[in-house]
Structure 1
Amino acid sequence: MNSKEALILFLRNPVAGQVKTRLAQILGNEAALAVYEQLVELTQKQVNVLDLPIRLYFDSIPEFVSNKWGNKFSAHLQTGQDLGSRMANAFLETFETGAEKTVIIGSDCPDLETKHIREAFSALDQSDVVLGPAVDGGYYLLGTKSHSPELFEGIPWSTDRVFGITLEKLQLSRKNVWILPKLNDVDEASDLDPYLRSGKINL
């Protein structure tokens, strides 16, 4: 296992009414929970084949962690006042373990594949930062070789400006940035349509 690389996966505990709340407004809490669990499973399948430590960061202490993750995972608690500070703290903790390349992802992107994550780690050999832009204006992946809390400060999270402002910060600081392919993520009910039609997600 390559301990110089580490993958952070941000997760919520699978509790009805506390996950995919925008979906729940249309589909109901139980259906939104079912979608969330399928998104996590899709992500799990892609990351499980990676030969590196997987650090699962939960929004609250989980009652259990599925043994499907295998012995590569470790469970941690997100700490911080907002998403930015929670991600910054997760990066800091991960770099303190001795990791030299760290990539963070969530579980909202059903099109994320192992190849995208591998490309991100490889790109860090020649770039300072890797970003995976989402169609909705956010990003589904961020990778870096050093703790960079400034990347998470002053960002209007959950808006269509997240990727653009983050990229602008990097350009102003003259960082070399690698951009991955743009992918969809699932936040709204309309985002689900292509995945329901393909059978990738079921209700």
Structure 2
Amino acid sequence: MKDTTWRRRLGTSLAVLATAVLASTASTALATIPHSSTGAITACHDSAGALRVIDAQAGSACAAGETRVEWNGTAITATRWVVGTVTQLPRGAGASTRVAAQPGAKRLSAGSWVITADVLIANSIDPPTSFRCYALQYSNQGFLGGQLQDWGGSGGWHRTLTISATVTLTSPDYVDIHCSHDQAVPSTGVFQVESVDVIAQRVVAVN
């Protein structure tokens, strides 16, 4: 009787241990699915359409006769920086000012990025002024995209101008935000950018 009880207890213990080992192994196997850097999921499918996920980051590869596929399996990687320093805008027509320099610690890696920036502008001057804010790639001073908007003091001092741009970087680089305006304005009155909130989202290519 005692021998039977002991065997049952041993069997139960071994089953629990096996479950724990399998759970640990599964956790380890999934640690790099999706890819820890790109967020991509890699899989292989055969001619019959059977699909299996592999750990490409750990070096797993598709077998002969299988086709490799990859897709973005997590939220797009994003980085954000906020500039709260007030930047006075020049009063001359057509002058451009950098209102948000990307911090060195947040340099964007090579790849495709979607840039969105909210620029808070304070303008107490009439008549309305045409503001242009845009993103600029630091290394080549390439214009990436922007928006034009008109307003003056009669419509309220503070407005937020939202811009968006896309860029594919061949090497790590910075993206800064610049603003300009089309008309010469008086030397008196409030005419400044008060904050810039920038979000850069990394887009993972689908193969």
Q: Shared fold (TM-score greater than 0.5)?
A: no
Q: TM-score under structure 1 normalisation?
A: 0.22
Q: Larger relative CO (CA 8 A, sep 6+): 1 or 2?
A: 2
* Structure with more strand by fraction: 2
